[in-house]
Amino acid sequence: MKTVKILTIIGVVTFVLYSFTSLTQEEWKVPEKYETMKNPVDAGTDTAIGKSLYNKHCKSCHGVEGYGDGPKAEDLDGELGDFSSEEFQAQSDGALFYKTTIGRDDMPEFTKKLPDDEDRWLIINYMRTLAE
């Protein structure tokens, strides 16, 4: 009887550990050419277009303030991030461009919805303002 209890406990612990590790996302590896890519759109330009594009394409998941709390967020499996965090803001513009362009898991790629690279750069400039 003790053996069955021990095996049950081991099974439960193993299941919990497996479940927890399967919920964490792998690190998002960004190719070097994107890490060093410079944003060709001046960050000092008016952010109104970037904000408008963000509101249309990003807000439903990432939220108004970029906290990852949009109305669709609870239906998604991955970590949506907090655009106001130091960790997020420490990423290069090129890394954010790559992630926005290519996507992964629940994050869609945006080359079809936003075929103009400049639009994605404008969104990145706007996302930078969410740290203020």
Tens place of pLDDT per residue across the chain (132 aa):
666 565 455 544 444 444 343 445 578 899 999 999 999 999 988 899 999 999 999 999 999 999 999 999 888 887 888 999 999 999 999 999 999 999 988 899 999 999 999 999 999 999 999 986
pLDDT value of position 118: 96
Report the pLDDT value the prediction gives residue 58, as an integer from 0 to 100: 94
Cβ-proximal residues to 24 (8 Å cutoff; 6+ apart), any chain: none
pLDDT value, residue 76: 87
Q: Burial letters for 4-39: b for 16+ Cβ neighbours within 10 Å, e otherwise? A: eeeeeeeeeeeeeeeeeeeeeeeebebeeebeebeb
- Running DSSP on this structure, what letter comes out for residue 81? -
The pTM (predicted TM-score) of the whole model is 0.77
Domains of the chain: 28-129 (1.10.760.10)
What pLDDT does 13 receive? 47
If we measure between CA atoms, which residue out of 60, 63, 98 comes closest to residue 84? 63
Six token digits for residue 4: 């069955």
